[in-house]
Structure formats: C-alpha cells, structure tokens
Amino acid sequence: MSWPSPGRAILRAAVGFLGGLALWFALSAPYERLVAGAAEIVLRTAERPAVTRLVARGGEILVDRSDFPPAAPRPGLPAADLHFNFVILTALFALATPLRAGRAALALGLLFAVHVAALCCQVESLYATRLGPWSEANYGVFARNVWAAAFHFYQIAGRFAAPFAIWWPLALWDRTDEKPAQKGPARRKKRRG
Amino acid sequence: MKEKNVPPAADDPAVRRRRSYAFLARFLLLLVGFALLVSWNPVNDAVIVPFTAGVARASALALNVLSENVTVAGTELRSGSFGVDIENGCNGVETALLFGAAVLAFPASWKARLTGLVLGFLGIQALNLVRVVSLFWIGKHRPALFSAAHTVLWQSVVVLAGVLLFLLWASRQKPAARAEA
C-alpha cells in the first residue's frame, strides 16, 4: 500500500466519502433493521424475562417492552446518529490503494459490532435514566452511571473515533506486510555502446 | 558460548506492528480521559460553554457579513423566525479532542506536538466555522436539507478533516518517529 500526497489524499478521501454517502443513503433502512435485530438479541439474552423489542422505522429505532403500558408512547432513538460514521470509514479506506476486499469486510464487521454495542448502551441508558421511578427501582446508582457514561462516551467521542481506530491497524497491516528491500551490492547498469 | 539477546530492529514488521498497537492504545486512553474531562460539569461550564459562545459570536459575525441579520444570545443564533442553538458536538471540540489525542499519542518531539496541536486546532475551528455558517444558511433557506447536512454531511466532513490533518502531520515527522507508530 502506498500513502498518497496531501492533494491526492484529499481527492481520494472525497471520492470515498461520496461513495460511502451514496451507499449510506441507499442502505440505511435495511442496515438499521439489521442493527436493531442484533441489538435486540443481545439485550434479550441479558434480560429475565426477555421483554425488549427494537423496531427500526422511519429513521428511528423504537424501543418497546412487553411490560410497557399499552397506551404509553414508545421512545424513539435517532438511528442516523448511530451509524453515520460508516462514511468516515469508507473515506479512510479510499485513502490507500489497492482496496483489500477482505480487510474492508473485516472493518465493516467491526463497525457493525460497534453499532450494535452502542445501540445496546443507548437502550440501557434510556432504561436506566429516562423512565423516572421505574429507572430508579430497577437500576442502582452505579448501573445508571455506567450505562449513561458508556452511551455519552459514544456520543461525544466514540462514534468519531471508531472508524479511525478500526482503520488504523488494518492500514498498518498493509505497511508492515511489505517486505523490506533486500540489501546487497547494487547491480551495475550495463553500458551500451 | 552464550547466545546474546539481540534487540529486534526498529524496522522489523512485528516491532512496528506492536508499536502501532501501542499508539492505538495510548490514543484510546487519552480520548477517554479527554471525554471525561470535557463531560465534567465544572469544565463544561467554565470552558466549553464560553468557548461555544465564542463560536456563536464568530459565526454571527460571518453571517452578518453575508447580510443574514443574525443576533446572538449565549450559544444561540437567531435571524427572524429561524434560530439554532450550538450544542456540544457542533463546536468542533470533539474533533479537536480526537486530533489532540492522536497527536499526543504519536511518538514525536514536544515541539512538533505543540505545533501540531495549535495548527490542527485552528484548522479544525476554521472548518467548523464554515460548517456552522453554512448550516445556519441551509436551515434558514433550505430547511428540508438541514437534517441530512447537519447529522451526516458536516459531522463526517469535520471529523474526516481532523483525521486527515493528523495523517498529514504524522507523515511530516521524522522517519524514526514514524517507524515507532
């Protein structure tokens, strides 16, 4: 892999960004369903009884519980905030050529795992801090702080840092896989004439 | 005859990989520390909120040059019936934290780090000013585009610019320092 000059880097990043943006707009809705489904499985695994349902609809992830009163409004979480960092990852991958499909797939898998974990933290943070007396009855002070801090960290820094933290070791992988130039006597050019 | 322990060469791929992971670990630790620091109420009230108010005043100045007749109240910009409140996440601080953590985690001289931090912060804030001004203009004149421009477009552009600035700075450090990361 070769590192481009600053001008080329900006150009490549812009191309990767626009490509990522097109994909993001096209695939956001099914991707949100996928993330919501995976996060629901994780959350229900830790619940006794398993009551959480996550439904991706209209750019939001609606949080439902089978023990919510039927008439109560279901809280919605903005989905774009969760996964817009996909376009940052595509821009970073466009910085270096050639694009390694395996590494790009690995990066996407890691980013998906980050999105699922962030959504789980967001739902737990909602349960722990925004449901009034129910939150206080079911979550202790420590648990409330942990879930709120975990989601707050994702909001303030994690969502921006995740693409870089995923991309950096994969990009370096390329650099360190390069074999160092073999030292030896320089071959003389044949003189013609 | 005893075999001597020869330290691995700095350009050994395994050594470079290990040092790079160490850079990543330092970066993430610093980022968590910075995030905790700016989330702490006394720091937020004494530093972040006044800084955001400064961003609002600078944005109002630029918008008024563009004849938008903007007034400022704290962190809020208003023009006629349209107004926006510049919140945490829109003041460029998060990208500056990301950039700062990366620069401080990277093996370089303190002089190079300080220069990088100052220039990077100024670059990020200049871009963020363009972001706030353009978002205000979009919100007032093209409100249908505001949400996408705010959440996806500009947030990503500012963060990406911060990462590119870091890569540019890192690529200009001495080869010995680059080999360490």
Q: Can you give the pLDDT at residue B23?
A: 93
Q: To probe the interface with B, which of A10, A172, A177, A179 has the most B CB atoms within 10 Å?
A: A172
CA–CA separation, B125 vs B87, rounded Å? 15
If you measure CA to CA, which chain B residue comes closest to A16? B160
Q: Can you give the pLDDT at residue B11?
A: 65
Interval A12-21: pLDDT, tens: 999 999 999 9
Most confident option among A63-67, A72-76, B100-104: B100-104
| Plot region of B137 (φ>0 → left; ψ -120 to 50 → alpha; else → beta) | alpha
- Kindly write down the DSSP assignment for every residue of chain B, as one continuous string: -PPP-PPPPTT-HHHHHHHHHHHHHHHHHHHHHHHHHHHSHHHIIIIIHHHHHHHHHHHHHHHHHTT---EEETTEEEETTEEEE--TTSSSHHHHHHHHHHHHHS---HHHHHHHHHHHHHHHHHHHHHHHHHHHHHHHH-GGGHHHIIIIIIHHHHHHHHHHHHHHHHHTS-HHHHHH-
**Residue A181 banded pLDDT, cuts 50, 70, 90:** very low
Q: How far is CA B55 from CA A42, B79, B86, B162, in A?
A: 41, 16, 8, 18
Contacts of A180 in chain B (CB under 8 A): 11
For chain B, residues with pLDDT lower than 50 are: none
Distance from CA of A69 to the nearest CA of B (A): 32
Show Cβ contacts of residue A151 under 8 Å, excluding neighbours closer than 6 positions: A118, A121, A122, A124, A125
Q: To probe the interface with A, which of B167, B173, B180 has the most A CB atoms within 10 Å?
A: B167
Best CA proximity match to B167, nearest among A91, A30, A79: A91
From the list A17, A21, A169, which residue is nearest B24 (CB)?
A: A169
Are the C-beta atoms of residues A35 and A116 closer than 8 Å to each other?
yes
A41 shares contact with chain B (CB less than 8 Å): no
Q: Can you give the pLDDT at residue B176?
A: 53
If you measure CA to CA, which chain B residue comes closest to A9? B164
A15 shares contact with chain B (CB less than 8 Å): no
Share of residues in chain A with pLDDT > 90 (%): 61
> Is the CB of B171 less than 8 angstroms away from the CB of A160?
no
Q: To probe the interface with A, which of B163, B165, B171 has the most A CB atoms within 10 Å?
A: B163
CA–CA separation, B142 vs A185, rounded Å? 66
If you measure CA to CA, which chain A residue comes closest to B40? A149
Print the SS3 string covering B32-77.
Answer: HHHHHHHHCHHHHHHHHHHHHHHHHHHHHHHHHHCCCCCEEECCEE
Q: Which two tokens stand for residue B54?
A: 């400064």
Q: Can you give the pLDDT at residue A173?
A: 60
B28 shares contact with chain A (CB less than 8 Å): yes
- Please give the single-letter amino acid code of residue A62: L
Interval B10-26: pLDDT, tens: 567 778 788 888 999 99
Contacts of B153 in chain A (CB under 8 A): 21
Interval A136-169: pLDDT, tens: 999 999 999 999 999 989 988 999 999 999 999 8
From the list A95, A157, A177, which residue is nearest B97 (CB)?
A: A157
Q: To probe the interface with B, which of A77, A176, A183 has the most B CB atoms within 10 Å?
A: A176
Q: Can you give the pLDDT at residue B76?
A: 94
**Strand arrangement, sheet containing A76-78:** A52-57, A60-65, A76-78
Interval A100-140: pLDDT, tens: 788 889 999 999 999 999 999 999 999 999 988 889 999 99
> Region A67-90: what's the mean pLDDT?
89
pLDDT at A184 exceeding the cut of 70 = no
How many CB pairs lie under 8 A apart between chains A and B? Answer: 91
Q: Can you give the pLDDT at residue A187?
A: 46
Interval A35-56: pLDDT, tens: 999 999 999 999 888 999 999 9
CA–CA separation, B13 vs A33, rounded Å? 41
Interval B101-129: pLDDT, tens: 999 999 999 999 999 999 999 999 999 99
Are the C-beta atoms of residues A82 and A59 closer than 8 Å to each other?
no
pLDDT at A191 exceeding the cut of 70 = no
Q: Can you give the pLDDT at residue A186?
A: 45
> Is the CB of B167 less than 8 angstroms away from the CB of A95?
yes
> Region A179-183: what's the mean pLDDT?
46
> Is the CB of B34 less than 8 angstroms away from the CB of A87?
no
Distance from CA of B67 to the nearest CA of A (A): 31
Are the C-beta atoms of residues B99 and B69 closer than 8 Å to each other?
no
**Residue A193 banded pLDDT, cuts 50, 70, 90:** very low
Distance from CA of A39 to the nearest CA of B (A): 22
CA–CA separation, A171 vs B181, rounded Å? 12
pLDDT at A71 exceeding the cut of 90 = no
CA–CA separation, A77 vs A64, rounded Å? 11
The CA angle A59-A65-A71, to the nearest 5 degrees, is 85
Q: Can you give the pLDDT at residue B152?
A: 82
Contacts of B34 in chain A (CB under 8 A): 157
SS3 A98: coil
Give me the residue label for tokens 């108010």.
B53
Neighbours of A114 (CB within 10 A): 21
Q: Which two tokens stand for residue B31?
A: 């980022």
From the list B17, B94, B159, which residue is nearest A156 (CB)?
A: B94
A70 shares contact with chain B (CB less than 8 Å): no
The per-residue pLDDT of chain B, averaged, comes to 89
Looking at per-residue confidence, does B54 or A2 come out higher?
A: B54
